Structure 1
Amino acid sequence: MDTQTKASELEGLTNNGGTELTNGVTMNHDVVVEPFDPRQSLMPKLRLFLAANIMLILTCVGIVLGFAIGFGVRELHPSKDALMWIGMPGELFLRMLKMMILPLVVCSVITGTASLDPKANGKISAVTFAYVIITHIIACVIAIVLCLLIKPGEGKSSVGSSLVDQEPMETQDIFADLLRNMIPDNMVEATFRKAHTRYRMIEETVSNNSINGTSTFDTLVTATKYASKTDGLNVLGLIGVSTVIGIAINKVKDKASIFLGFFSGATDVVLVIIRWLFCLTPVGVASLIAVSIAGVADLSTTFSQLGKFLLTVCVGILLHQFIVLPVILFVTTRRNPLAFLLSIVRPYMIGFASTSSAVAIPEMLDACERRNKIDSRVCRFVIPLCTTINADGSAIYITSAAIFIAHFTGRDVMASDIIIIGVLTAVAAMAVPSVPSASIVTLVIILTSLNIPANDIALMFAVEWILDRLRTACNVVSHTTCAAVTYHFCKKNLGPCDVMETPSDVERNILTKI
């Protein structure tokens, strides 16, 4: 192409809508240069964020609505029937979730342990138990230090409140029941009954002969303990049985591939069903919080009487879950504690609303496996086990409550008493079931073992609606932290995973097809 041809083409471009600038440069009007709009780049990210966190946002809205409805309805002095219907959506939500706990625990534990060699399984158990004991001790120390600083209950006199009749129990009874539940005598019965020590009260009439020949009669009441059973899911026994079955499957390997495939598929199915149920989370959370607040008769009197105790427990739980546990996580695993806490917000809220860490098992598994990339074999064993034996929030509550009641009743609490309370709580917290207000029963046992009157324990029920939620949420943080710590120490012993897909992968595939 010669110079004349180029010049003619350039002239044609200029004549076809071109504009010649003062410096001789020609601009084509057909090319439109739009200014950069930062909103265009933010909108896709915002839509992705909303799509990924829509349930979390709706759950937060449910919590706010629950508090608003609770405080509003409380001013109307609702009847028991009205409270029942306010809490009905939340009750049904919990019933549906609890319905799925049994198949989830059994199938996930069997699948997880079957994919591990016995050496790795033993190391995972050892690390988990070490973590539980250490965090329980730290939780008790925090509660003791705060009680010595804040001194809840001092300067008050007993108000003579009465407690609902409790069966007499000894400290050793809780450990005996723990061992019996670890090894159930009937695998099927463990799905709906568990061991529980009971007392049979026997009245005997004793005759006393006086010197002048008259007789008086006294009634002597003796208590005889016996091993009995009570209704309830024996989670610890199911974990033990499922662990043994999983190890046996690993031993026979290919011969039990069909058997293992059944439990692996059942785990995936149960998780998908639970994910469907979690669509009702905002409604269930709002209902549960509303009925708990609406049922409190006098908030001002309650908080004024138990202000220091409430402050002690709240500060202790907040310190433990937002400082101690993140420090343990960072020191042992080098993970970012803030990112980890943000990844477990959903199970945290489920635990806060339901007051049961067992109900939050599916969300904890999802947060650990999908968001934090923790091996599913570790999660499926550690998370169900921790919901049974790990209760950091309960340890803080029980220790603080025991010292508070001792001060409240006017008893001088010696250093030896504080040490005994801490040691008993650190061990007894391993046997606190993951059901609402279970810590109250453990508290009665510890007070009885120290000969501290338990009548004033009725005061605890006045603030139980909020403290039960706080300590359950703390337990959720501890369970997930335990899974991360255990995986860090045991990942070199895991070996290749025999499970074809993780539950989160299967869920995504099924939900995509639907």
Structure 2
Amino acid sequence: AHQITESPLSFLYIYISHWTQLTTLISVGLGLGLGLLLKFLVSISPPHNHWIQMPGEIFINVLQLFAVPLIVTSVIAGVTDLKTQMSKKTAILAATYVCGTTLTAVAIGLTLVLLAKPGEGQDISSTEKVDVPPISVHLVLQDLLRNMIPENFLQAFYEQYKTFIVQIKSPPGEADVSLPQHTLFRTYTGGVSRQNATDIKLIGKYIAGANMVGLVIWSFVIGILLNRAGRRAKVAVEAIHCLNSAIKIIFNWILWYLPLGVLFLVAHQVLEIQDWTAIIKLTKLSGLVLLGLVIHGFVFLPGLYFIILRRNPFVIYKKASRALITALIIASSQSSATLPVTFQCCEEKMKVNERICRLILPIVTTINMNGTGLYEVIATIFVAQINDIVLDIGQLISIGLTVSIASFGTAGIPATGAVSTILVLTAVGLPAEDAYILLVVEWLLDHFNTTLNVLGDCFGVAVIDHLCHDALMGYNIDR
């Protein structure tokens, strides 16, 4: 083993791994420089800016193209590699870990924003406002349940169900007639005059975007069914394993394009910045979110790891560095886009059991949103503070629980953190129209939120692997 470690091939592999990370970081700096240069020295029109974005957009599209097949095949392969009893145990451990760490992240954010009060003394809400569509928490939960049982498994690969609330103002002088069946309720502004009546209608339809919740649940079920079929499903199981390995190889090829895609993504983001004053005003909010992410990522998670495993937790940061850097750069609001790199780090660097990785990683990357939950609770109370709204203990608890549910309910849904915050604000009766100001910094903080999500995934897989170690060893002996 010592000779293999010091072979020229091993040195070349280590050099290539570090060279990829180094060039990616260099690409970030070059992208910032290119964006600032084009912004202040050259007049870039929107069509030209779209061309600058194109190389990075192609990279993200390719990642998303194979991300869903990788998640589905990984879950099925992971379940078929384990006993049914073992699958139940790992699923329970994963759910416990995700719920516990999410609630802790929300509690950290809640404590920081109440102590620092970043929204007080800032006159941001007085600027021009935009109309915000209403969102209801119970509708999101209903959509979550509908997406858990999709009408068509193949449709779940590219579409998901979502309910929209549409406000339709009644024409002046409308007669007092009964509401149509598709009308939810009717509201009035400025008294009871029919001239100000507004119909609130629910419109449910399928929108573009993979139904990750439904795919993960039913991939898990299919894996259990194949497991119980035994030898009769041997050919199907082997085919799924081969497909899973092939997708991982393709991802390794794609990652060589990462530095070029990063350069143009960063340059495009710099060119998109319009209001520098708003960024300055929201600096305190950004700093508070980053502080919360640091506390959760460098104090709580490693502390939990040390208590359970009694090992040095900071080794995880080094071994998972490639996945963390990729998450920091891509920032897709969810960690599923970095799943191939996370797989590689957990299996090859952290030496986590391959079966645990295949089963647990797709699950936690779909629903584990520690960074998103921490950001949303701070952003929600920030909006209340800039409107001089004093929240009681009941409202604070309601906000904390709603943020936790929203972080699970929006898993796999292509929505920004600001839109999720609108959901929470509406649910607890706060002015949701001011949430638009969060868009100034949300795109930047999303990079760090995603990184914490991935870090939580890596720690979670390591903890579950340790807790299931004895069962896995017994399973290997039985095999």
Give the structure-2-normalised TM-score.
0.88
Question: Is 1:441 the equivalent of 2:419?
Answer: yes
1:94 Cα deviation (Å)?
A: 0.5
Letter in 2 for 1:54: W
2:356 aligned with 1:354, yes or no?
no
Rounded Cα–Cα distance in structure 1 between residues aligned with 2:305 and 2:31 = 33
Corresponding position of 1:384: 362
In structure 1, the gaps of 5 or more residues are 1-40, 209-215, 501-514
Query: 2: CA distance between counterparts of 1:415 and 1:207?
Result: 44
Q: Distance in 2 between matches of 1:298 and 1:72?
A: 17
Which residue is 1:284 aligned to?
261
Q: Which of 401, 406, 409 does residue 384 from structure 2 map onto?
A: 406
1:78 maps to what in 2? Answer: 44
TM-score calculated relative to the size of structure 1:
0.83
Aligned-pair CA distance for 1:442: 1.6
2:336–2:365 CA contact under 8 A, matched in 1:
yes
Native 8 Å contact 2:132 2:432 kept in 1: no
Distance in 1 of aligned mates of 2:339 and 2:11: 29
1:334 CA drift (Å): 2.8
Tell me, which stretches of 5 or more residues in structure 2 are unaligned?
Answer: 1-5, 177-192
For 2:60 and 2:432, locate their aligned partners in 1 and report how far apart those are by CA, in whole Å.
Answer: 31
Distance in structure 2 (CA, Å) of the matches to 1:130 and 1:485? 12
Q: 2:213 matched to 1:236?
A: yes
Which residue among 8, 24, 28 is the counterpart of 1:63?
Answer: 28
Partner of residue 144, structure 1 = 110
Q: Report SS of the residue matched to 1:59.
A: helix
Following superposition, the deviation at residue 233 of structure 1 comes to 0.3
Query: Does structure 1 residue 218 correspond to structure 2 residue 185?
Result: no
User: 2:433 maps to which residue?
Assistant: 455
Distance 1:128 1:81, change over 3 A: same
The one-letter code matched in structure 2 to 1:457 is A
Q: Equivalent residue for 1:254?
A: 231
Listed one character per residue, the Cα deviations across residues 289-311 of structure 1 (whole Å, up to 9, x for unaligned) are 22112221243x13321122111
Instruction: Give the alignment partner of residue 273 of structure 1, picking from 228, 237, 250.
Output: 250
What's the CA shift string for 1:350-388, capped at 9, x where partnerless? 212211211100001111111111112211121111122
Distance 1:383 1:419 in 2: 30
The structural deviation recorded for 1:458 is 1.5
**What does 1:460-471 align with in structure 2 at a 5 Å threshold?**
460-471=438-449
Q: Find the residue that maps to 1:411 and give its secondary structure.
A: coil
The whole-number CA distance in structure 2 between the counterparts of 1:217 and 1:331 is: 64
CA distance in 1, matches of 2:316, 2:394: 39
Residue pair 2:293, 2:374 contacting (<8 A) in 1 also:
yes
Report if the CA contact (8 A) 2:212-2:412 is conserved.
no
By how many angstroms is 1:342 displaced?
1.0
Q: Distance in 2 between matches of 1:305 and 1:52?
A: 40
Separation in structure 2 between the aligned mates of residue 337 and residue 397 of structure 1, nearest angstrom: 24
- Tell me how far apart the structure 2 counterparts of residues 435 and 290 of structure 1 sit (CA, whole Å): 26
Contact 2:77/2:237 (<8 A) preserved: yes
Residues 52 and 312 (structure 1), Cα distance of their counterparts in 2 relative to 1, 3 Å cut? closer
Q: Is the 8 A contact 1:333 1:488 kept in 2?
A: yes
Contact (CA 8 Å) 2:159, 2:211: kept in 1 or not? yes
**Cα contact 1:161–1:455 (8 A) shared by 2:** no
Deviations 1:89-125 (A, max 9, x none): 1100001111101211111111110111111111111
Contact 2:320-2:342 at 8 Å conserved across structures: yes
Q: Counterpart of 1:327?
A: 303
Amino acid at match of 1:429: S
**Partner residue, 1:88:** 54
1:132 is matched with 98
- Alignment equivalent of 2:317, drawn from 341, 359, 363: 341
Residues 274 and 475 of structure 1, relative CA distance in 2, 3 Å threshold:
same
C-alpha RMSD of matched pairs (Å): 2.4
Aligned amino acid, residue 320 of structure 1: H
Q: Distance in 2 between matches of 1:408 and 1:160?
A: 12
In the TM superposition, 1:163-174 aligns within 5 A as 163=130, 165-166=132-133, 168-174=134-140
Q: Give the deviation of 1:201 after TM superposition.
A: 4.2
Q: Which residue of 1 aligns with 2:353?
A: 375
Q: Which is greater in Rg? A: 1
1:30 alignment partner in structure 2: none
Query: Aligned partners of 1:249 and 1:182: how far apart in 2?
Result: 20
Number of aligned pairs?
A: 450
When structure 1 is superposed on structure 2, of 289-298 and 262-271 the one drifting more is: 289-298
Contact kept? 1:62, 1:283, Cα under 8 Å = yes
Q: Deviations over 1:112-152 (max 9, x none)?
A: 10111111111111111111111111111111111122111
Q: SS of the residue aligned with 1:359?
A: helix
Q: Which residue of 2 aligns with 1:302?
A: 278
Q: Is the 8 A contact 1:114 1:246 kept in 2?
A: yes
Write out per-residue CA displacement over residues 38-71 of structure 1, whole angstroms, 9 at most, x where no aligned residue: xxx9x99976642342211221221222222223
**Post-superposition shift, 1:465?**
2.3
State, as a whole percentage, how many aligned pairs show the same letter: 29
- Say whether residues 1:161 and 2:161 are aligned partners: no
Contact map agreement 1:74 1:297 (CA 8 A) in 2: no
Q: Give the Cα separation in 2 of the matches to 1:225 and 1:435.
A: 19
The answer to whether the 8 A contact 1:355-1:436 is kept is no
Aligned AA for 1:295? E
In the alignment, does 2:6 pair up with 1:54? no
| Cα distance between partner residues in 2 of 1:436 and 1:200 | 20
- Cα distance between partner residues in 1 of 2:262 and 2:321: 14
User: Residues of 2 paired with 1:201 and 1:149: CA distance?
Assistant: 38
The one-letter amino acid paired with 2:261 is G
Cα separation, 2, equivalents of 1:467 and 1:437: 15
Which shows bigger deviation, 227-236 or 443-452? 227-236
* Stretch deviating more after TM superposition (326-335 or 355-364): 326-335
Q: Which amino acid aligns with 2:218?
A: V
CA distance in 2, matches of 1:64, 1:339: 27
* Alpha-carbon distance in structure 2 between the residues aligned to 1:377 and 1:97: 23
